[in-house]
Amino acid sequence: MRTFPYVVVSAALLAACASSRPPPPEAPAAVAPPVPPPPGEGAQAAVAPDAPAGAEASRIEELSRQAAPFVDAFVNSEALFTRDGKQVLFVSSRDGLPQVYRADAASPTSQATRLFESKERVTLIDTTPDGRSLLVFSDKGADENWSVWKVGLDGSAPVELTPGETLSRDTAFLPDLAPDTLYIGARRMDEAASAAYAVPAAGGPSRVIYRDDKPGFLVHVSRDGKQGLFARYLSASENYLLHLDLASGKTRPLYPAQGTKVSLFSAQFSPDGRTVYVSTDGGGEQAWVLALDSATGKELARYVEKDPAKAIIQNLLVAKTGDTLALGLSAGNRSEVRLLDARTLKPRARVELPLGQGAVQAFSEDGRRLTAIWSTPASITDAWVIDVKTGKASPLRQEPRPALKQVPAIETSIVDIRAHDGQALPTNVYLPKQRSGKLPVIVSYHGGPAGNSKIKWSAATAFFVSQGYAWVEPNVRGSSGFGRAFEAADNGPGRLEAFKDIEAVGRWAASQPWADPDRVIIYGGSYGGYTVLIGLTRMPDLWRAGVDVFGVANMKTFMATTSGFIREVFLLEFGDPDKDAAFLESISPLKDVARIADPLFVYAGANDPRVPRGESDQIVRALRERQVPVEYMVAENEGHSMARRENQIEFMARTARFLEAHAAPRQAPTP
């Protein structure tokens, strides 16, 4: 079910609002106690969050009741079959936090039962080869210090398999034919260096198999437990796949050839271990799947995606029967699925799913069925099943969600906005179908930076559309799924061109016949939160207000306090803190904070390992000192996340009240 690599700073803006799934364990950004910031920068005590009272609190309570149905229309966000194929195990937010449930796989309407009780979020790894247990990842307070747990399908209590040292674990594999040892990719949280570990499946001390001084991932392990695939991740555009001997720890290069720079997205062994399937861009604009001889690296077959030509083959799955590959495509503003013959890499049955966002998840043991997660603006994120022979897709779960009755009809479209240089910026637009007059507009920028905005279900989008807003999601240069060149176009000094895209989209939105140009709000999370601050500092005349969700305020302190992994891979994306110090300062919103005049709502997770809370503290402190309207919400039990029901509802309600207060229609002057 796992994919490689992970977009480092969350590509989903409010992942919890759009889908309650926690950030995947591939996220290599968990961090130990952060590196102290440079003297005099960000070293002050934490800034206290706001606590609305009186009329504000009353209005927030009222808006919370309106927001609750959108959150309570729960999402099912991961799914796999039990080994006998009779049940489906899936992650759902129905009880207010992502947890594991089980249900009859043959009946989409069958009752779901929670597998075990946990006060922390959970994400799936796989069932054990004997079919009796499930392996899951869980962290504490969304801090991304993922640990592996084993829970019996008979309802027995979960057991932690990785106690002791706290590590940022990102993958785990228990080989079918060698189930005594669990293989895990992990790293120390303050280091860029990564490692592959062997852990006794019955519990016990871990052992380092291979350590790399650069960022990397354990991508896959062969069914016999003898071979591994390790991907070195020097940057988003330079990855190297190594063959790893799990007994000796020795590695050898597998792909690409020396001197070639490519992006790798997923890799797996064939069931017999003789072939390695790799999804890559080959260093160019098209997406490939290569079948390589695992012993020599010789290319045996190739599949080239031609429509859409610039998509990313984000994940690749091999059926245990060895005859089928499933591909999950990120085609910029939508997802697609492909089925290939594993021997020839020729297309098999065509899979047709509605325009939306999703991913393939796992094959059944017999290779006849494939689980997927899918959503559209009108259909909530849920589990689907694909018949591998015919390609027919149908709901795997189909449960009543009474709260959805309150969701308004939404008109959705995709438009290309032209940048200053003529570059097309694919943009998703969501409007209330029943509307009159000019609408306030929320322009929502995604994270990443190399994330993207796909057409999808989002509780936040649906809620704000129900409140009478237009919602606009641009894919500015630097977004993924539109080709290698487009994604790399914001690297280093190219970021200044991406800043122009922010303005181009904002001005386009303000000029639309349905828009109130006097009420355009800039909104975003993670890198999108940084985008909000860039917009407010560089084009303050365009916006009425901003919503900054764990955004970067100061590039110098961010690079000093984020994880070692992010620091390393962002050297190309942003610049070296030593060599490029002047440039990093020039693109730090805090430097230009005196230009912010628009009201700002700020959200932070207290345990955020990717964009530490100190970044939000700095911008809030600076605005309070200047008496610019700012409201600050800090969730003590969240990290780079909004996974819990109460936090999602509070965020939406408080943000809506803040915008009511600061982005209401301007009163016409009295004659």
**Euclidean distance between CA atoms 500 and 419, whole angstroms:** 8
Q: Using alpha carbons only, what angle is made at residue 576 by residues 261 and 549, rounded to the nearest 5 degrees?
A: 95
> How far lies 332's CA from each of 307, 309, 322, 499, 556, in Å?
12, 11, 30, 20, 31
The tokens for 88 are 């489906």
pLDDT in tens, 391-414: 999 999 999 988 778 777 899 999
pLDDT band at residue 27 using 50, 70 and 90 as cut-offs: very low
- Least Cα distance to 312 among 293, 343, 341, 288 occurs for 288
Under DSSP, the state recorded for 385 is E
Would you state the pLDDT for residue 667?
57
Q: Using the predicted structure, report yes or no on whether residue 15 has a pLDDT greater than 90.
A: no
Contact criterion met (CB below 8 Å) for 128 and 179: yes
**Euclidean distance between CA atoms 523 and 427, whole angstroms:** 15
Percent of the chain with pLDDT over 90: 85
pLDDT band at residue 43 using 50, 70 and 90 as cut-offs: low
Under DSSP, the state recorded for 651 is H
Q: Using the predicted structure, report yes or no on whether residue 252 has a pLDDT greater than 90.
A: yes
**Euclidean distance between CA atoms 536 and 598, whole angstroms:** 7
pLDDT in tens, 517-547: 999 999 999 999 999 999 999 999 999 999 9
- Least Cα distance to 376 among 288, 293, 266, 458 occurs for 458
Please count the other Cβ atoms lying within 10 Å of the Cβ belonging to residue 24.
Answer: 18
Could you give all domains of the chain from N- to C-terminal order, each with its CATH number? 15-21+411-641+648-662 (3.40.50.1820)
Under DSSP, the state recorded for 57 is H
- Distance from chain centroid for Cα 304: 26
pLDDT in tens, 132-171: 999 999 999 999 999 999 999 998 889 999 998 899 999 9
**Euclidean distance between CA atoms 26 and 361, whole angstroms:** 15
Helix (H) and strand (E) counts for the chain?
A: 11, 35
Would you state the pLDDT for residue 356?
96
538 contact partners, CB below 8 Å, separation of at least 6: 499, 502, 503, 592, 595
Would you state the pLDDT for residue 404?
79
Residue found under tokens 């606009």? 472
Would you state the pLDDT for residue 11?
33
Would you state the pLDDT for residue 21?
31
pTM, full prediction: 0.92
Would you state the pLDDT for residue 253?
96
**Euclidean distance between CA atoms 523 and 520, whole angstroms:** 10
**Euclidean distance between CA atoms 462 and 464, whole angstroms:** 6
Q: What sign results for the dihedral spanned by CA atoms 434, 514, 481, 304? A: positive
Under DSSP, the state recorded for 665 is P
Exposure string for 608-623, b = 16+ CB within 10 A, e = fewer: bbbbbbbbbbbbbbbb
DSSP helix/strand/coil, 463: helix
Q: What is the DSSP string of 473-525?
A: EE--TT-SSS-HHHHHTTSGGGHHHHHHHHHHHHHHHHHSTTEEEEEEEEEEE
Contact criterion met (CB below 8 Å) for 417 and 495: no
Would you state the pLDDT for residue 203?
81
Contact criterion met (CB below 8 Å) for 533 and 522: no
DSSP helix/strand/coil, 342: coil
Q: Using the predicted structure, report yes or no on whether residue 9 has a pLDDT greater than 70.
A: no
DSSP helix/strand/coil, 2: coil
Q: What is the DSSP string of 552-586?
A: -S-HHHHHHHS-HHHHHHHHHHT--TTTTHHHHHH
**Euclidean distance between CA atoms 554 and 566, whole angstroms:** 15
Q: Using alpha carbons only, what angle is made at residue 116 by residues 112 and 120, rounded to the nearest 5 degrees?
A: 110
DSSP helix/strand/coil, 78: strand
- Least Cα distance to 472 among 498, 507, 496 occurs for 507
Mean pLDDT of 441-461: 95
Cis peptide before 308 (omega within 30 of 0): yes
What is the Rg, in whole angstroms, of the alpha carbon atoms belonging to the chain?
Answer: 24
Residue 418's DSSP bridge partners are 424
- Least Cα distance to 654 among 632, 635, 638 occurs for 632
Comparing 33-37, 57-61, 377-381, the range with the smallest average pLDDT is: 33-37
Mean pLDDT of 562-574: 91
State the average pLDDT for the chain: 91
Q: Using the predicted structure, report yes or no on whether residue 578 has a pLDDT greater than 80.
A: yes
